[in-house]
């Protein structure tokens, strides 16, 4: 009888350990699941706008690791080259004093006018905008890749990121302005 009780208690302890390990594993996996935030945070920069027709809206706020950087992403039905959404965003930025950069900020030797689809590049089309305070807005227009050669060009995911001038991007802006002073000479007169 005693051996029966010992086995029963051993099985009970073993089962309890399995339950605890399983619960811990579940909680750890659950923490890694990303949940989009469709609600605009109260202190989110006004310059980042989302059209009413947008789907899958996701706002992200700065972290302690990367301060001064805000981002919003969304999907719109606007076939490549997505002129409607580009015009919507561009007019908003221009009317608020932002200037479209002629080269890519992170690769200032590459003209912004290059179309990645012409070269079958897999990274998104990118626009960079700068205001007089040296705040920067980066806009990625991403088309879903169907396979090695084809994209779904019927809708576009737009990722707009606002970098405050005191964020990590300030050194890249200074470098860009040194390489392309002609873009800013009108603004200094």
pLDDT tens digits for range 84-127:
999 999 999 999 999 999 998 988 888 887 755 555 555 568 89
Distance CA 144, CA 154 (A): 9
Handedness of CA 30, 74, 134, 126 (dihedral sign): positive
Q: Across the chain, what does the average pLDDT equal? A: 82
pTM of the model: 0.76
Contact 129, 98 (CB under 8 A): yes
145 to each of 22, 55, 80, 123, 125, how far by Cα in Å? 37, 18, 13, 10, 13
Q: Indicate the domain borders of the chain.
A: 1-33, 55-188
Q: Following DSSP, what letter does each residue of 24-48 receive, concatenated?
A: HHHHHHHHT------SPPTT--TT-
Q: Determine what percent of the chain is predicted with pLDDT higher than 90.
A: 47
Taking the C-alpha atoms of residue 141 and residue 81, their distance in angstroms, rounded to an integer, is 9
Quote the pLDDT of residue 123.
Answer: 54
* Percent of the chain with pLDDT strictly greater than 70: 75
- How far is Cα of residue 106 from the mean position of the Cα atoms in its chain? 15
Cα-flanking dihedrals φ and ψ of residue 101, to 5°?
Answer: -80, 145
Question: Looking at the predicted structure, is the pLDDT value of residue 166 above 50?
Answer: yes
pLDDT band at 189 (very low <50, low <70, confident <90, very high): very low
β-sheet with 136-145: strand ranges across: 55-60, 69-76, 151-163, 136-145, 125-130, 99-100
What is the token pair recorded at 188? Answer: 């200094």
């Amino acid at each position: 009888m005693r051996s029966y009780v010992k086995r029963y208690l051993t099985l009970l302890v073993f089962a309890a350990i399995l339950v605890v390990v399983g619960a811990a594993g579940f909680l750890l996996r659950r923490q890694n699941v990303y949940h989009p935030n469709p609600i605009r945070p109260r202190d989110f920069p006004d310059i980042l706008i989302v059209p009413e027709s947008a789907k899958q809206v996701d706002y992200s706020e700065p972290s302690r690791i990367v301060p001064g950087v805000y981002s919003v992403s969304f999907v719109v039905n606007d076939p490549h080259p997505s002129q409607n959404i580009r015009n919507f965003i561009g007019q908003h930025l221009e009317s608020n004093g932002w200037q479209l950069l002629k080269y890519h900020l992170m690769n200032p030797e590459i003209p912004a006018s290059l179309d990645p689809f012409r070269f079958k590049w897999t990274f998104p089309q990118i626009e960079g905008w700068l205001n007089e305070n040296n705040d920067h807005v980066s806009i990625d227009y991403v088309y879903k890749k169907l396979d090695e050669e084809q994209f779904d060009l019927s809708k576009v995911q737009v990722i707009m990121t606002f970098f405050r001038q005191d964020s990590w991007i300030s050194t890249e802006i200074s470098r860009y302005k040194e390489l392309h002073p002609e873009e800013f000479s009108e603004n200094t007169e």
